Amino acid sequence: MGNLVDWEAWLRSAAKRPSDNEESKRDRTEQQIRAALDDYGPLSGKYRVYVKGSYANNTNVRLNYDVDVAVEYTGYFYSDLCFDLQGHDDSEVGVYASYDTYSREDFKRDIKAALFETFGSDAIEIGKIAYRVRENKTTLPADVVPSWEYRRYDRIDAWGDPVVHVGSRVYPSTGGYKNNFPKIQVTRGTEKNDRTHRRYKRMVRCLKKMQTRLTDAGVLENELPSYLVECLVYNVPDSLFNNSTYLEDFRKVVGAIWGSTQPNGDWGEWEEVHGLHYLFKGSFAGMRADAHTLADKAWDEVGIE
C-alpha cells in the first residue's frame, strides 16, 4: 500500500501541530463555552472550566477536531483513601464530600440549560458523559463534560502524611463513575516530551495519523481511542526516541509497542500517562491485542525491514 511513499517526509508532516487557524478555532470554541456558562445565573460561582484531552496535551492532529471542555463543580470534592498507587482498581474505599443540597443532577441540568440558551437545542447532542456542541464556521465541535474534583490519597510520605493526587470524576448517565487525572497527565506528558527532545508528542501524532491512514484504507477495522494511542507511545522507553531521522524514531516506537503487547510481553506493567492506573487493567482492559495489531500493521505499512 505504501511502497512508493517517502516515509521520512510523511512522518515529518504527520508530526506537525495543527495549523494556526485550527488553534484559533480551538480558542474561540473555549471562549464561547465559557461565555455561555458565565451568562447563566444559576451557575454563578459554582464551577471552574479547563480544556483537557488531546488539545490540552498538545497531541492532537490535524482534522482531529474534538475539544474536551471540563466544567468542574467547586462546591465539594470526592476522595478515596487507598494506599495502592499502581494497583488501585478504582473500587471506592471511601467518598467524602461536604453536605450540599445542589445535586449532581442539578449541575448537569444547569449546564445543559446554559448551552441550550446560548447555542439552541438543535446544536446540542446529549451523550452519556458530555454535551456535544456542534461546530460552526469559526469554532470546533466541543464535548462539554460536567465534572467534580476527585482526590486520591496514596501511601504515606516521609512526614507521615498521605500523598494526594488531584483529579477529576465524571458520572455517566448509565450509572457509576470514572476517575481521571487530566492535569497530572499534562505535567507528565510535558516532562516526557522534554526528556525526548520533543519527539514523544511528535511520535504520538505520527501514530495517530498512521492509524487513520490504515483505517481509511481498510487495513484496520476500527481506530483505537486517541488517549490509548498516547499512552502506548508514553510507555516506550525514552532512550528509543531522538534518533537521526523520524523514520528511525517511528520504527523503534512501533517496534517497542509490538514487542511489549505480545501475549508474553510486559504490557501488564504499562501505565496510563498520569501513572496512577495500569493501562490494560481498567478502561482499556481487553484491548491489548488491538494495540498489538496497530503496531503490526503500522510496521508493515512503512516497509520496515
> Of 139, 157, 182, which closes a domain?
182
Averaged confidence pLDDT in the chain: 89
Place of cell 469559526: 138
**214 and 301 Cβ atoms separated by less than 8 Å:** yes
Q: Do 202 and 164 share a domain, yes or no?
A: no
Report the domain count for the chain.
2
Q: Do 101 and 170 share a domain, yes or no?
A: yes
Q: Do 172 and 208 share a domain, yes or no?
A: no
> Of 139, 165, 182, which closes a domain?
182
- As a whole number, mean pLDDT of residues 265-288 equals 94
Q: Do 147 and 59 share a domain, yes or no?
A: yes
Q: Do 26 and 175 share a domain, yes or no?
A: yes
Q: Do the domain assignments include residue 240?
A: yes
- As a whole number, mean pLDDT of residues 180-189 equals 95
Q: Do 241 and 162 share a domain, yes or no?
A: no
Strands 142-156 and 67-81: parallel
Q: Do 167 and 191 share a domain, yes or no?
A: no
> Of 182, 198, 222, which closes a domain?
182
Examine the pLDDT at 305 and tell me if it is beyond 70: no
pLDDT at 91: 45
Q: Do the domain assignments include residue 50?
A: yes
Confidence band, pLDDT 50/70/90 cuts, at residue 62:
low
Q: Do 83 and 166 share a domain, yes or no?
A: yes
- As a whole number, mean pLDDT of residues 119-143 equals 89
- As a whole number, mean pLDDT of residues 260-272 equals 96
Examine the pLDDT at 98 and tell me if it is beyond 70: no
Provide the residue range defining the domain that includes 119: 17-182
pTM of the model: 0.88
Q: Do the domain assignments include residue 1?
A: no
Examine the pLDDT at 127 and tell me if it is beyond 50: yes
Q: Do 41 and 136 share a domain, yes or no?
A: yes
- Among the listed ranges 27-41, 63-77, 278-292, which one has the minimum average pLDDT value? 63-77
Conformational region of residue 133, where left means phi above 0, alpha means psi within -120 to 50, and beta covers everything else: beta
Q: Do 164 and 33 share a domain, yes or no?
A: yes
What CATH number does residue 64 fall under?
Answer: 3.30.460.10
In order, the DSSP letters of the chain are --TT--HHHHHHHHTSPPPHHHHHHHHHHHHHHHHHHHT-GGGTTSEEEEEETHHHHT---TT---EEEEEEEEEEEEEEE---TTT-----S-------SS-HHHHHHHHHHHHHHHH-GGGEEE-SS-EEEPPBTTB--EEEEEEEEEEEEEEE-TTS-EEEEEEEEE--TTSS-EEE-HHHHHHHHHHHHHHTTTHHHHHHHHHHHHHHHHHHTTSSSSPPPHHHHHHHHHTS-GGGS--SSHHHHHHHHHHHHHHHTSTTSSGGG-B-TTSSSBTTTTTTTT-HHHHHHHHHHHHHHTT--
Q: Do the domain assignments include residue 2?
A: no
- As a whole number, mean pLDDT of residues 72-93 equals 67
Query: Of 197, 156, 205, which Cα lies nearest the Cα of 54?
Result: 205
Q: Do 77 and 225 share a domain, yes or no?
A: no
Q: Do the domain assignments include residue 294?
A: yes
Q: Do 31 and 173 share a domain, yes or no?
A: yes
- Among the listed ranges 17-31, 86-100, 174-188, 270-284, which one has the minimum average pLDDT value? 86-100
Confidence band, pLDDT 50/70/90 cuts, at residue 168:
very high
Q: Do the domain assignments include residue 249?
A: yes
pLDDT at 244: 96
